[in-house]
Amino acid sequence: MRKSKLEAAETRRHIVKTAAAEFRQHGINGTALADLMAASGLTHGGFYRHFTSKDQIVKEACALAVASEVEAAELAVLERAGQSGVAAFAKRYLTTQHRDHPAIGCPFAALASEIVRSDGDTRAVATEGFLKLVDVVTGQAGRSRPTAARRKAIVALSTMIGALTMSRLVDDAELSDTILEETGKHLARL
């Protein structure tokens, strides 16, 4: 049954991608390795041919999910029409579409409480991703002394993550919509 190196690498990538979606959908704790492997079309025994532990795939799946969020921000910034980068990204971020599809959405909104309690590697990956998001929406890279634009972006991103999270937490469809709409309007004004 051995697969070629190329196929194996492809399988590995596929598992990480599946994990990134499963974790965001069901939570890290809510996703058993057997479930994850089944969702990848494999049996659970093979997991350890690719990863040394659940912690490792958590880290890699977070890295992938964060990277795809950064890409989404890049896309939004490219397609902005007169608006600031932050406003352009916020417009795409604070939607019912995003709220209702956590599996392909922002990992911070989907997993924040779990990432806080994850190991150092995962938190480091998440922190880097957050800073990358800041860079992208401000259109300027560099960790040095935070400019006004950077500081604004940090606040706006925190706001977006909080609002999306609360729009999912809340039981009341109308309130959920209101949270998204009002936060969207608020950020558009900046």
Partner DNA sequence: TGTACATCAGTGAACGCGCGTTCACTGATGTAC
- 24 interacts with DNA by CB under 7 A: no
CB of 185 to a second copy, least distance (A): 8
Among 25, 27, 39, 44, binds DNA (CB under 7 A): 44
Q: Which does 165 bind (CB under 5 to 8 A by kind): DNA, a second copy, none?
A: a second copy
In terms of Cα–Cα distance, which of 21, 183, 180, 31 is closest to 99? 180
CB of 59 to DNA, least distance (A): 12
> Residues 27, 46, 146, 162: which binds DNA (CB under 7 A)?
46
State in angstroms the smallest separation of the CB of 18 from DNA: 13
Long-range contacts of 117-125 (CB under 8 A, 24+ apart): 118/28, 118/55, 118/58, 118/59, 118/62, 119/55, 119/58, 119/59, 121/55, 121/59, 122/55, 122/58, 122/59, 122/62, 125/59, 125/62, 125/63, 125/66
Select the span of 3-11, 72-80, 139-147, 157-165 touching DNA (CB under 7 A): 3-11
| Sign of CA pseudo-dihedral 177, 111, 25, 72 | positive
Task: Measure the CA–CA gap between 93 and 77, rounded to whole angstroms.
Answer: 12
For 157: left if phi > 0, alpha if psi spans -120 to 50, otherwise beta; the answer is alpha
Asked if 123 interacts with DNA (CB under 7 A), we say no
Assess 124 for contact with DNA (CB under 7 A). no
Q: Which does 162 bind (CB under 5 to 8 A by kind): a second copy, DNA, none?
A: a second copy
By CB under 7 A, tell whether 39 contacts DNA.
Answer: no
Choose the contact partner of 50 out of a second copy, DNA, none; CB within 5 to 8 A by kind. DNA
> Coil, strand, or helix at residue 91?
helix
Question: Using CB under 7 A as the criterion, which residues of the chain lie in contact with DNA when the complex forms?
Answer: 1-8, 11-12, 31-35, 37, 42-50, 53-55
